[in-house]
Amino acid sequence: MIPGSRLLAVLAAFTAFSALAAGPMTVYKSKYCGCCEGWIKHMQANGFELKVVETEELGAIKERNGIRPELSSCHTAEIDGYVVEGHVPAADVRLLLEQKPAIRGLTIPGMPQSAPGMDIPGHPYEVLSLDQEGKTTRWSAYPG
C-alpha cells in the first residue's frame, strides 16, 4: 500500500504524463516574433514536446482553426485536435488535454503583458475557450 502523500505524488505525475501523452504540439510562428520564443520555452519547461514551424502564412492557419481576428495573437499551436492561440499557460493546456471538452480550443486574444512569454507582471488577463460555433467562454483568469 502506498502512503497518502506518496499516492498523491504518483497520481499527479500520472496525470501530467497522461496529459502530455497526446503527442507533440505544432507551433506556427513568424521568425520575427521574439515573444513566441518565450512561450515556446515556457511550454518546453512544462514538459511539452514541440514542433516549431516558422511561417508568414499565419492568417491561413488561424482561419483553418476558426480563429477570428479579434481572438488572435502572434502564434497558433495545434495539439491533439485542439487549437491553442497565443500565450496560453501550460497549466491551461494540460487541463484541456485532461478534460478533453468538446471545444475547438483555447485563446488569449492579443498579447497580455503578464502571460507566459511576455512575463511583465501586473496585467490581468483571461484565457477563453472557443467552441465549434466560434463562441467564447472564460476558461480561466489570471491576476497578472
Burial 14-47 (b: 16+ CB within 10 A, else e): eeeeebbebeebebbbeeebebbebbbebbeeee
C-alpha distances in angstroms, 93 versus 90, 108, 122, 125, 139?
A: 5, 12, 22, 16, 11
The sheet carrying 105-107 orders its strands as: 50-54, 25-29, 76-79, 82-85, 105-107, 125-130, 136-142
- pLDDT for 21: 58
pLDDT (tens digit, 0 to 9) for every residue of the chain, 144 residues total?
444 444 334 344 444 444 445 689 999 999 998 889 999 999 999 999 999 999 999 999 999 999 999 999 999 999 999 999 999 999 999 999 999 999 999 999 999 999 999 989 999 999 999 999 999 999 999 998
- pLDDT for 12: 46
The separation between the first and the last C-alpha atoms of the chain, rounded to the nearest angstrom, is 42
- pLDDT for 11: 41
Among 21, 23, 50, 24, which residue's Cα sits nearest to residue 36? 50
